[in-house]
Structure 1
Amino acid sequence: MAKIVPLLAILLMLLHLIRPLGLPGLKRRRDFWKIAILMIAAVLFAAVLRD
């Protein structure tokens, strides 16, 4: 499971570069970095909960 999350993040970022997802805050192609920030926050949150 831990290895699939980064793969999913990369897939979402590539998909967003090809065609913007249209979600609030993700309207333009150049907003793909926000997905990376969200995934980093999710990994940190999971690490805090695990300890």
Structure 2
Amino acid sequence: MSKALTVILLLAMLIQVLKPLNLPGLRHRRDFWKIAVFAIAVMMVTILIRP
């Protein structure tokens, strides 16, 4: 599951750079780093939850 989530978030960052998603907080191409920060946070939570 974590690998699939990683691929989805990488695709979202690529799409954001090519054509902004126009979501609140993601209106500009330079906002792709916000997706990366979210991805790192999700991966940390996944690591903490796993036994």
In the superposition, the TM-score normalised over structure 1's length comes to 0.86
Q: Which residue of 2 aligns with 1:5?
A: 5
Within 2, Cα distance between the matches of 1:12 and 1:36? 9
1:15-26 equivalences under 5 Å are: 15-26=15-26
Unaligned segments of structure 2, at least 5 residues? none
Aligned partner of residue 2 in structure 2, secondary structure? coil
Partner of 1:38: 38
User: Secondary structure of 1:3's match?
Assistant: helix
> RMSD value over aligned CA atoms?
1.0
Report % sequence identity.
43
Report the AA paired with residue 16 of structure 2. H
TM-score under structure 2 normalisation? 0.86
**Following TM superposition, by how much is the alpha carbon of 1:21 offset from its aligned partner in structure 2, in angstroms?**
0.7
Structure 2: distance between partners of 1:46 and 1:13: 20
Q: What is the distance in 2 between the residues matched to 1:37 and 1:28?
A: 16
